[in-house]
Structure 1
Amino acid sequence: MDPASYKDFVTPRGINYHYFFSPAAAGKPTLVFLHGFPSNAHECWRHQVVFFVKQGYGVLASDLLGYGGTDKPTDVAMYAKSLMSADIISIMDRENINSKVYAIGHDWGCALTSGLATFYPSRFAGFAFLALGYLTPNPEFEINSFYAGFKAIAGHECFGYWHFFKEDGADKIIADHMDAFMSILYPEDPKSWLTDMAPRDKLKEWVISNKVTPPPSYLTEEDFTRQKTELLKGGMAGPLCWYKQYATGVVVNDDKLVPKENYIIKQPVFFAATHEDYICVPKVALVTMKDVCPILTVRDYQTDHWVQIAEPDKVNKDLLEWIESL
């Protein structure tokens, strides 16, 4: 991703976004890539951006709120999906992205993709969700019921680490033990998440103990160092707000704003099911997606959560085939 293709833009609510943009060739769609935790546009999407720019596609990939060169507020209310969705739309407007647009999210980027699908459906021709599925609006959201629902379908606790992320001071603990934190987020053995991240208290124990595990084959030491440096420079308080919005009522109030007719995505939807992901378990996502995404394409990957980095060629090929079939 050429640094010269990055821009900065202050959105109408006063947030500075740092983003990569390459305009589409004549007749080609534009793809809006939305990264997740704990990443940025480059770390998450570097393989996809290079591939699709060569195909003549337009590409917009922003550092999202709390990350990279974008502002990092610590007020959880600033991270409401409605507000962040409006930010992305304002960037699209600045770049005159108005026709045949596909939003593609990974991890928490899927939550923002869900926001774009429900608040601005007319602006997009389709939506792709990698690892995490579409999050249907739920004005009755209650976090303990959410935990229990996932556990009942997955067969094990999935989001125990959220308890740590919601704690005051969690950002400083992570920053003080960043090597251990990065190690468990990107382990060589995906089942490490089943034992040391998904159950309550296990991630905090891992981090404080400074434990490490070998990295996956698809990441180099340089990748780790670069991402760790970026996170330490920006701090973890902003990124953790993406989790805290689910514990503070921000999500409930935001979802009340969504028209009920927008709960069902009427455009084509792509879902990358990551079958060695023990937190974003595919069968949990598909329980609801099959009902609320009537034009659904599912592709299966025997990878961990970081599918677009672990299997970039397959992800790129599958996304390209899906878009060109529409």
Structure 2
Amino acid sequence: MNPIDPNNFNHRTERLSTGRTYHFIDERPSHYDGTRPTLLCLHGFPDLWYGWRYQIGPWTRQGYRVVVPDMLGYGQTDMPSDAAAYSTKSLCDDLAALLDSLEIPKAVVIGHDWGSYTAGRFALWYPGRLLGLAMPSVPYTPPSIDHMPVEMMAERYPNFGYQLYFADDTATAEIEANLLSFFRLLFRKPASAIPWAKAGELRALVRGNLGSSLAEGCLLTDKELDYYVSQYSRGILGPLSYYRTTKVRYEEERTGSLPASLGAKFPVLCCYGTQDETCPPSSLRNAHKFIPQIRDLALEGAGHWVMLEARDAVTEEIIRWVESLPHSYGKYRL
């Protein structure tokens, strides 16, 4: 299987019981008998199912069914116009419905970036549907006691200042007009990173339209970039809407009385690039307070895009961790 070619994967589309239609990859090993769990992989921003392209084939060949959706608003999945539709409670409802439609009672859930955050919330909203949780790049954070507006977050954590821009409605059209430059700017090796995380930096870069000057140091080939641009042809309103749900997420979690901690025996893996500024040591220390069974795995020299930068290590270490999980569940489902 050539992982670069999207046509080499098994694409499916299902209308879920939540009323939304999801596009997803569903790869099964030949002669799959359900004795190994399904791996449900969630991507982040600004990504697609395609972000897992280097892991899907190897994991399938090792006997695992791998399901990778385009998350809500991305690729060929529905894109609601109302930002509230992208709350993590809504996303988790969709994920549970997707598993239902595939007759999968439980899965190992693996999420990167926003997918990691969503996977962590899935473990709180639907704890009975997970066999384990792997969180590349973004460690677990508990539900907030108080609402923190994005403005306060950017002030308190300067490296999250870019979220001010994403939360601003004017960002949608500006990024859409510069999609290729935007992908080249964000999908970069740590050594060639251009500062954009602090408040005001990203807006200035997008408006500056840096164009082909960003090509050197980009992690994506021209062919991969073409695929990303084609899959964002509907625009970027849906993906940016995730950053516009701060208040509704807080209210849903408060109303739902979500716990701060996962179960005492719940297995969690956090693997992160040592050059990833979105995963500071303080966030890892904080995650340990709420997950007794968490296991850390440092990927030396890698930045944020660990599935690309450390593709072999991510593929091998995650599956090694999966194989260490308790295997007392019998068949997981055909």
- Aligned counterparts, 1:104-119, within 5 A: 104-119=110-125
Aligned to 1:16: 21
Residue pairs, 1:123-272, within 5 angstroms: 123-143=129-149, 144-149=151-156, 151=157, 157-190=158-191, 192-193=193-194, 195=195, 197-211=196-210, 212-216=213-217, 218-231=219-232, 233-246=233-246, 249-261=247-259, 263-266=261-264, 267-272=266-271
Shift of the alpha carbon at 1:189?
Answer: 4.2
What SS does structure 2 have at the residue aligned with 1:158? helix
| Paired residue type of 2:223 | E
Displacement, 1:96? 1.1
Tell me whether 1:5 sits opposite 2:10 in the alignment. Answer: yes
State the distance in 2 between where 1:190 and 1:131 align: 17
Secondary structure at the aligned position of 2:135 is classed as: strand
Question: Are the structure 2 counterparts of residues 190 and 240 from structure 1 closer, same or farther at C-alpha, using a change threshold of 3 Å?
Answer: farther
1:34 is aligned to 2:39? no
CA distance in 2, matches of 1:265, 1:145: 30
Residues 1:58 and 2:45 aligned together? no
The verdict on how the C-alpha distance between 1:216 and 1:54 changes in structure 2, with shifts beyond 3 A counting, is farther
CA apart distance, 1:165: 1.1
% identical aligned pairs: 26
Q: Is the 8 A contact 2:27 2:56 kept in 1?
A: no
TM-score of the pair, normalised by structure 2 = 0.87
Secondary structure (helix, strand or coil) at the match of 1:182 reads helix
Answer with 117-126 or 280-289: which moved more: 280-289
2:285 aligned partner, one-letter code: V
Q: Aligned-pair RMSD on alpha carbons?
A: 1.9
Per the alignment, residue 68 of structure 1 pairs with 75
TM-score, scaled to structure 1: 0.89
Distance 1:250 1:2, change over 3 A: same
TM superposition shift of 1:54: 0.7
Matches of residues 79-98 of structure 1 in structure 2 within 5 Å? 79-98=86-105
Q: Is the 8 A contact 1:137 1:258 kept in 2?
A: no
- Cα separation, partners in 2 of 1:190 and 1:162, compared to 1, 3 Å: farther
Q: Is the Cα–Cα contact under 8 Å of residues 179 and 210 in structure 1 kept in the other structure?
A: no
Structure 1: gaps (5+ residues): 152-156
Tell me if the contact between 1:187 and 1:214 (Cα under 8 Å) persists in the aligned partners.
Answer: no
Residue identity in the other structure for 2:294? L
Aligned to 1:300: 298
Give 1:241 deviation, angstroms: 0.3
Return the offset for 1:4: 6.6
Answer yes or no: is the 8 Å Cα contact 2:185–2:218 preserved in 1.
Answer: no
Kept after mapping to 1: 8 A contact 2:20/2:78: yes
Q: 1:141 to 1:264 in 2, by over 3 A?
A: farther
